[in-house]
Amino acid sequence: MGSQADGPRMIDEATAKSILAAAGIDVPAGRTGDDPELLLADLTGPFVLKAVSPTLIHKSDAGGVAVGLAADEVRAAAKTMRETVSAAGHEVSAFLLEEMAAGPHEVVVGAVRNPGVGWVVMVGLGGVFVEVLQDVAFGVAPLVRPQIVEMIDELRGLPLLQGARGSEPADLDALVGLIEALAGPGGLLDLMPPQVTEIDLNPIKLGARGAVAVDARFVVDPTATVTTDRALTPVPPTDFSALFQPKAVAVLGASTRAVNAANLFVRHLQTSGFSGRIVPVHPKADEVEGIATVPSLADAGAIDYAFVALPGAKVAEALSQSVDGVAFAQVVSSGFAEVAGGEQLERELVESARRQGTRIIGPNSLGTHTSRGGVGFIPNAPYEPGGVAVVSQSGGLSVDILRLGSASGVHFHSVTSIGNSADVTPAEMVGHLLDLPEVRVIGLYLESLERAREVLELVTSDRLVTKPVVLLVGGRSAEGSRAAASHTGALSGNHRLWPALARQAGLRLVDSLDDFLSVLLGFDVAKPSVRVSSRDVVLFGNGGGASVLATDALARHGLVTPTLAPEVVAALEAFDLPPGNGLTNPVDVPAGTLAVRSGAVADDILRTILASTEPAVVVTHLNVGIIQRNLEETHGDVTGRIIETVARLQAETETTHHLLVLKGDGKSDMEERIGEYARRARSLGVAAHRQFEAAAVSAAALLAEPAPTTSPQENL
């Protein structure tokens, strides 16, 4: 065992295989020794001969593997192998002679420890498929059978394993069983000491019956230790109501001379409609921002929420002054674990707060916005309460989420900038938000896989996940997680691990901030009782090209726009509409048609369609710029009329989601009008998007499988 003096080493193949066998994974029968002829005893041909050499990692590259040997060919093969392998610079210390496993398929299964996530597991098709096409799928251990099946289903090359192109179908059950033995609860990975950092089974031979690991590589890093979790004072279960509805708010760090974050925070409180007690804490000044101060938290009484913008080193001490308690301290100060050398300070802060029963939000955060609580951290924050609760690892992005979200019609329950999440974690927040009836959808912006892993743990414990959780990720780069000795290591970049974590946790992963907000809006406004029976969409609105683009956008998200039945089209034609309509779906009509009876015609058209079809979604798209600029004088508020029609239809149905797309002409007066229309639509129970793409991504999310409501363990 071992090659270089330090750095990763390999366990020899025969030992690795005996470990696999003990874990219930099939390996070829084989024997190791110097004299290949003596190894033949008890083995049945055809044979595979392999060179054993501590320095040889990729055996076949150096001529160290000979397959398909008959018994009388073994001696000669060994002689040649010794020569070629030594010519390649490796000394052959012994031979491994194995029975040859039947194919025809080869797959790769591997596992690598990721510092934040733990064991991540990969499955892929062997050979060129993994090397060139990188057709692999990842999962996070422990994996239960249905999750393993989902991983395998993700492989683009799966049809090849199922027997496409005339090959023999592979025993996929055996593959699932093998992965379960490796990565299932209590599987081999669970038993590995911390020094084993990678396991690569490349390849596994897969035939009509059985799965056999014919090569096994265990990478050992003698210096590796698994960091045991920080041994902090344990957290008691926390009631987060005081964070979202604080009655007494303390502010530490406001200045009498300058206007800093704490001063601004007080000013926001003074204008937000916050009705509780504001207690500025200042050691010297009598008043701050026109409010009487107390010299320390000792005189502040019981505080629900303290906004702390002191220099980092002073935070713990200042909080410890409290006599009657601080339930939550939002530490906006920086200089903690986000900077080199700040870890100790952060640990001390959390430890000291825990002893006191104070929960820390942050540090290195911006604040917590709560609409009902009337507390926020940006000027003129949107306090209209809604069902969208967001937890963000980025402070700056939480500002964008509030601003852009509210501009696109999102009403927030809360936005928590959780910063370094040294104490309260995103997972803990999710746990609480799942319990709040007023929260309809949770949005997470995460940058750390470790934090995502905690969310996975939460939702796969006995937790009922009864509402959608939407995930936006920062840092999905394609880089491999380490300079790897295996395909698994090389391919386990963050861009692979985030989707795996999201899939396993039932989180809806989105690609951009725009999509994040569109999906949150969609879930917040959608009628919760609607149950759809298809992925069909009816598109209705003005603009032929626009309808085509909309169809494409929907298709990109897996939604179809099927042609209406001839009877329905005939019924629509019978309405005696102005010319120029396409009535087959997309139902694209010119503005002049929409304006018939000042827009009341939309009711006839949509009702006729819905009388005989049951689409999952109706997208009504209106080019408001054209409709209102050209037809307002003659036909009045056509847009408003159609919005009301759509809202009425939404109220009447339990089987269809109605969405609106309202488009302008780029002029600011029209943008403003559209904003008003969107607010009106929202107040009537219909989400209005500004782009087809937004409607499509939101519709697809609404139609996606519901989040798992039971633990996958129960499926075993």
CA distance 213 to 174: 11
Tell me the DSSP string of 147-174. Answer: HHHHHHHT-TTHHHHTTGGGPPPP-HHH
Cβ contact 678:685 at 8 Å:
no
Least CB distance to ligand ADP at residue 191 (A): 24
Nearer to ligand ADP, 50 or 282 (CB): 50
Long-range contact list for 129-135, CB < 8 A, 24+ apart?
Answer: 129/157, 130/202, 130/487, 130/491, 131/487, 133/157, 134/491
Residue numbers at the binding site for ligand ADP (CB under 6 A): 28, 48, 50, 58-60, 65, 67, 98, 100-101, 106, 203, 205, 214-215
Residue 488 interacts with Mg ion (CB under 5 A)? no
Amino acid at 519: V
Choices 113-121, 199-207, 258-266, 443-451; region in contact with Mg ion by CB under 5 A? 199-207
Cβ contact 139:145 at 8 Å:
no
Least CB distance to ligand ADP at residue 217 (A): 8
Q: Binding partner of residue 98 among ligand ADP, Mg ion, none, CB under 5 to 8 Å per kind?
A: ligand ADP
| 423-442 CB burial, b ≥16 within 10 A, e <16 | bbbbbbbbbbbbebeebbbb
Q: How many residues make contact with Mg ion (CB under 5 A)?
A: 2
Amino acid at 265: F
Nearer to Mg ion, 204 or 550 (CB): 204
Residue 293 interacts with Mg ion (CB under 5 A)? no
CA angle 597, 648, 556 (to 5 degrees): 95
Q: Please choose, from the candidates 416, 364, 398, 370, the residue with its C-alpha nearest in 3D space to the C-alpha of residue 268.
A: 370
Least CB distance to ligand ADP at residue 482 (A): 20
CA 254 to chain centre: 38
Q: Which residue is nearest to Mg ion (CB)?
A: 215
| 522 contacts: CB under 8 Å, gap ≥ 6 | 659, 687, 698, 699, 701, 702
Least CB distance to ligand ADP at residue 224 (A): 23
Residue corresponding to tokens 């825990």: 354
Cβ contact 424:361 at 8 Å:
yes
| 668 contacts: CB under 8 Å, gap ≥ 6 | none
Least CB distance to ligand ADP at residue 92 (A): 14
Least CB distance to ligand ADP at residue 65 (A): 4
Nearer to ligand ADP, 47 or 516 (CB): 47
Choices 126-134, 168-176, 215-223, 428-436; region in contact with Mg ion by CB under 5 A? 215-223
CA angle 389, 364, 507 (to 5 degrees): 35
Q: Binding partner of residue 101 among ligand ADP, Mg ion, none, CB under 5 to 8 Å per kind?
A: ligand ADP
Nearer to ligand ADP, 100 or 507 (CB): 100
Q: Binding partner of residue 684 among ligand ADP, Mg ion, none, CB under 5 to 8 Å per kind?
A: none
Q: Binding partner of residue 559 among Mg ion, ligand ADP, none, CB under 5 to 8 Å per kind?
A: none
Q: By CB under 5 A, what part of segment 649-668 binds Mg ion?
A: none
Question: DSSP class of residue 585?
Answer: S
Choices 83-91, 200-208, 317-325, 558-566; region in contact with Mg ion by CB under 5 A? 200-208
Least CB distance to Mg ion at residue 67 (A): 12
Least CB distance to ligand ADP at residue 19 (A): 16
Choices 108-116, 213-221, 284-292, 400-408; region in contact with Mg ion by CB under 5 A? 213-221
Q: Is 430 helix (H, G, I), strand (E, B) or coil?
A: helix
Q: Is 363 helix (H, G, I), strand (E, B) or coil?
A: coil
Q: Binding partner of residue 100 among ligand ADP, Mg ion, none, CB under 5 to 8 Å per kind?
A: ligand ADP
Cβ contact 337:422 at 8 Å:
yes
Least CB distance to ligand ADP at residue 52 (A): 11
Q: Binding partner of residue 271 among ligand ADP, Mg ion, none, CB under 5 to 8 Å per kind?
A: none
**Adjacent-strand bridge partners of 280:** 251
Residue corresponding to tokens 């007494």: 248
Least CB distance to ligand ADP at residue 213 (A): 9
Binding residue for Mg ion, selected from 98, 99, 215, 644, defined by CB under 5 A: 215
148 is written with which tokens?
């393993």
Nearer to Mg ion, 202 or 371 (CB): 202
Cβ contact 410:522 at 8 Å:
no
CA distance 18 to 679: 66
Q: Binding partner of residue 658 among ligand ADP, Mg ion, none, CB under 5 to 8 Å per kind?
A: none
Nearer to ligand ADP, 112 or 587 (CB): 112
Nearer to ligand ADP, 130 or 674 (CB): 130
116 is written with which tokens?
């934040």
Residue 202 interacts with Mg ion (CB under 5 A)? yes
Nearer to ligand ADP, 203 or 615 (CB): 203
Number of H helices, E strands in the chain: 26, 29
Nearer to Mg ion, 59 or 451 (CB): 59
Least CB distance to Mg ion at residue 190 (A): 24
Nearer to ligand ADP, 52 or 120 (CB): 52
**Adjacent-strand bridge partners of 709:** none
* Count, residues in the chain: 716
Least CB distance to ligand ADP at residue 215 (A): 3
Least CB distance to Mg ion at residue 51 (A): 13
Nearer to Mg ion, 216 or 315 (CB): 216
Nearer to ligand ADP, 215 or 454 (CB): 215
Q: Binding partner of residue 205 among ligand ADP, Mg ion, none, CB under 5 to 8 Å per kind?
A: ligand ADP
Q: Binding partner of residue 113 among Mg ion, ligand ADP, none, CB under 5 to 8 Å per kind?
A: none
* 3-class SS letters over 608-650: HHHHHCCCCEEEEEEEHHHHHHHHHHHHCCHHHHHHHHHHHHH
CA angle 137, 138, 139 (to 5 degrees): 135
Nearer to Mg ion, 200 or 423 (CB): 200
> Within 10 A of 174 (CB to CB), how many other CB atoms are there?
18
Least CB distance to Mg ion at residue 108 (A): 9
Nearer to ligand ADP, 127 or 335 (CB): 127
Positions that interact with Mg ion (CB under 5 A): 202, 215
